[in-house]
Structure 1
Amino acid sequence: MMSGKDNATSWLVLSVVTFSVFLEIGTVKGFSVLLPDLKEQLDTQTWIVGSSIAIITAFGYLLGLSSGFFVKVFSPRICVMTSGLIASIGLIVCSLATSPPTLLLGLMFTGFLLVQETVLVGVVPEYFDKYYKAAVGIYACGTGLGIVILPIITQLLLDLYGWRGALLILSGISFHSVPCGALIKAHISHETKLSQDNVYHQLFNAEDAVAEDKSLPRKLLQDLSEAIGLPLLTRLPFITRVVIPGFIWGYTLIGWMIYMVSFAVSNGLSIKQGSIVAASGGVGVVVVRISIPLLHKYMTYKELLYISSVITAISLSLTTFFTSYIALNIISLFFGLGIGCLGGELYISAKVNSEDSEHFYAIAWIHVAYGSGSILSGIVTGLLYDVTGSFTISFNILAAITLMTTVSLGCGDIFGIKKTCLGNVL
């Protein structure tokens, strides 16, 4: 494989990263198309199926926090290929589900799509330097393409083969990530490389070290802290500009993705029309993420985070007032523009607010925050619908929580200004 960055191999690997993002987000959105059938066939409530679907994101991203350790031990290539295989098996288990617990088990395995994505996004700096921001914009388009394409494919498969057949075919599609993973480097850079022998020594030969070092527990805790990038959580800029917005991004996006089709159906639209409404949001995501390099010529990443959170919140509120087919498509387009920009800029924010050697862990913590928000949204949004019989309150809560991004960024900026002023005085 060619060495260096920003070369032909880099762009080939970027296509693999984009496919992984496409597959992950598209699979979650595809399950939202299947939600009404799953609810009926498994004889359960909306929030139970919705929160189970959110497990794909929550469990996968939480597990992704440990992916840095496994990448150092087994290499990115092995991690990507193994994750793709487990996710494919998970979709097969979902297709055989006869009860909510069986579906949940399959969805937990499917969540390894998120582990795969965490690994791939984390190694992007290994391939790009000058064109890093452009690379982020391109692989982030996978989100929009997944929202546009896979739900439509899922709907067609549902009509032809039923939900079980649709999931089996989706399993075959996800299996393609296994050979794609073979294109990734078999190692990572020397700056972050940790030898396999050294890792095994730390884990399995700790008893020999006790006699030499009585502070072993403290050392082990320190090693664990470094292995998951915990020091990042001690920095206010990283918390206010990455972690909290990441949680909000997950809560908003997953709540919209899982329940938007059901929301449209509850307002008199057909499932196909609801899928098209969701696809309009995907178009907005693709458009804004293609435009990210251009937007950066005029605005900073923080300005884009502020603006995108406001656009997203307004569009979610308008959804509850204008429920016609045409209006929902237009509003969904603007929602896609807002949420797509918000998600894309978070990756830029993670790079800006962390050291180069910490980039992999910064991505993992974004995904942990995203996954935490998604599982909460999956439960709360669906539960409120089951209780009230309407999505109005749920979607207004999504809008209100989205605006908390501006509050988090504002608090971080105010604290930063005060800290700078105090430093000047001292």
Structure 2
Amino acid sequence: MVLAWNNVRTNRLGLAASFAAVLLAVTLVGGGGLVVAGAGARDELNGVIGLLVLSAVVSGFVSVFVVAGMLSLHVLRQRRTWALLRSVGMTPRQVSRLITAEALVVAVLAGAAGCVLAVPYAWVMSGFVRMTGLAPEGVPVEVTPWPFVVALVVGLAVTLLAARGAARKAVGVGPLEVLRESAAQRRILPWPRAVAGVMALAGGGGLLFLVPQVKATAAVPAGLGAAMVLCVGASALGPVVLRGAGWLVGLVVARFDPGAGMLAGSSLVTQPRRAMAAASPVMLTIALACTFLFAVSTGDAADGVVRTGPSAWAAPILVGSAVVYTVISVLNATAMTMAERGEEIRLLRTLGVKPRQLTRMVCWETLIVTCAGTLLGTGIAAAALTALGVAATGRPAFTYSVTQYAGLVLVCAASGLAGAVVSTRKARRGSLRPD
């Protein structure tokens, strides 16, 4: 615990993304629980409770996904640190306990701050529900203990699950890894990850087959569940897709921008798992947000309902918290993946690559990663919405909004570009001496 606390204090930047992810998870779950507790006291708000619970479940799933990704990135960045500890005698079990202790320290600090922020978030959600007409008289916010308890348990459970997966990666680092200078990853897709990915895709496909056969009230939750399971499978198998995309798109980009395009494509081919860590939040945002938003519009079209005024913003607002969460994770993931490349970028500068070329390389790489995440998320959302369309209308068709879809893609791209450009500015334009 002493070593873990010192590591957290000295590596604040590396763990800041994990802290922010747990903080938002506790805030979303705790604030949503306070609103649900207030709505539960009034029978006329039963429909609102269902939507709020569904939104909270989506937020909880996103938190698991994002926290796991942030801790995995932290472990990958500290690869040589774990190898150094192994080389001086630390056992694999001690390394695993150290990572778990670090995660617990972050979870406790973030959980306490998240409980404080949950109350104002609940008031904001209550105001949005009243403004959109879902509850014209508003939802009373009751500050009761159990939403905070649930939020803290969710935060700790999510962090421990993520830490367990991250610890496996750290334990797999050998003592001689500290001497390895190559950036290439030797195993792009370990067999346990491949098996888990295939099983998740098969499970998601099975859930999609069941969506048209369940009750109408359970169709949307089942469709969202299928999308979540498919996201897990796509994230596990994604490095293979990104390596192919990096090679193919890199060739195309290199024709327009030879130097920067070639470097961007080579980076993705060399480090597809690192790139997938940045693409996963994009995929998650597109898949879940589109499934939730367009499932509502498909159901309205099937029932002949036309939403105007504030009620038209009900679905976007309910899914907005999860979207904001994943957008922040896009910023964090991109910044973390780019920040660890300071030495690589400085080496390229010593070889004659100009700062402008490095800026274009970073932008091209981010755009390729965003496109890959967008395509994966779009495919998952389209599959889930097709099943929901069959359940609602009997036909494999669904209603969608090009404006909302384009807005989500642009927000993800802008977030990724901002994180990449800001995090690499010092390496691209600063001193050539290492930190």
Question: TM-score, length-normalised on structure 2?
Answer: 0.32
Question: TM-score, length-normalised on structure 1?
Answer: 0.32
Q: Which has the higher contact order (CA 8 A, sep 6+)?
A: 1
